[in-house]
Structure 1
């Protein structure tokens, strides 16, 4: 890991991700980060959110990444924070006014693994027009990558790893 020890990173993942979410990291093996992200997504076959034998990302192809936009580190942290909220919004997280700073700190720990030079991508449409927008108060539109009612997430890319942190609205 780059800047975060294993125990701290694991604690932060547990604090942020529930059963309707996906968090996984894999090695960069190909020249195109999208193909590495796809490999990580396809590791989701055993996920409880799968809904199909191929997992939640089973039908995703490299062409689907046209609906993924660059986002700032701060924006990526905000999105990871909101994945547990209803419709992936800060307003949908119980006691967010009290817990928001703690949750955002956990998101910073999770994404800190990828180092200062990491790139971040999301399917939150707000990032298409402004990668530096306040993602806690973003529009609730997303370019879905899965067959779920709604999905949202962040892809973190470093020189050596790619991480996928995703939430799903099941019903």
Structure 2
């Protein structure tokens, strides 16, 4: 694994996440990682390293006191729809979040950009270390955590009221990261 710093992290995060996407990390403070993940989703915690996050509401506005948080109604029980996924599958899902409906067909010039996008996803997830666990709400992972997430069906167990939402939860002994996308229509 590559040793990453805030500059490399920021570069890869900006390459992967844009308007209407959510990428944030918080400290792991509890035995039940779901509670820490919920804190990250609801912006009740800061990045323990002080590294940047990308958090824009699906309509493109910033989250804040006057903005609606898509994760506002999420409860710890909703994480029952978060299925274990292999690191390689988590990287693939991170790449697909850039496209409407989270399919590679929706990524412009995907064939030419696949290696670059996978490299950025790898950098983002390397922050969590070799022993990290990854979860997704992609239904394909429920039956096979090692499935090819590029070739999967596009079904997700939604966490929000949007038409579709999907992503990756990264869990290490020290941190929890939420990397999520939304389809609004």
* Global fold match (TM > 0.5): yes
Checking the alignment, whether the CA contact within 8 Å between 1:3 and 1:114 is kept in structure 2 is: no
Q: Map residues 23-38 of structure 1 onto 2, 5 A cutoff.
A: 23-38=23-38
Provide the secondary structure at the position in 2 that maps to 1:99.
helix
CA-CA distance at 1:48 after TM superposition: 2.6
**Structure whose residues are more often helix by fraction:** 1
- Counterpart check, 1:73 vs 2:87: yes
CA-CA distance at 1:131 after TM superposition: 0.3
**What is the CA–CA distance in structure 2 between the aligned matches of 1:119 and 1:110, rounded to whole Å?**
14
**What is the CA–CA distance in structure 1 between the aligned matches of 2:67 and 2:95, rounded to whole Å?**
28
1:62 maps to which residue?
Answer: 76
Provide the secondary structure at the position in 2 that maps to 1:136.
coil
Provide the secondary structure at the position in 2 that maps to 1:151.
strand
* Ranges in structure 1 where 5+ consecutive residues have no aligned partner: none
Checking the alignment, whether the CA contact within 8 Å between 1:3 and 1:115 is kept in structure 2 is: no
2:107 maps to which residue?
Answer: 93
2:19 maps to which residue?
Answer: 19
* Ranges in structure 2 where 5+ consecutive residues have no aligned partner: 45-54
**What is the CA–CA distance in structure 2 between the aligned matches of 1:39 and 1:3, rounded to whole Å?**
27
CA root-mean-square deviation: 1.6
Question: How far does the alpha carbon of each residue in 1:8-38 deviate from its partner, in whole angstroms, 9 at most, with x for none?
Answer: 0100000010111100000001110000000
**Ranges of 4+ aligned residues in structure 1 off by more than 4 Å:** none
Question: How far does the alpha carbon of each residue in 1:70-113 deviate from its partner, in whole angstroms, 9 at most, with x for none?
Answer: 00000000000110012001111000000011001000000000
1:48 maps to which residue?
Answer: 57
1:112 pairs with one of 126, 134, 139 = 126
Name the count of aligned residue pairs. 168
1:4 maps to which residue?
Answer: 4
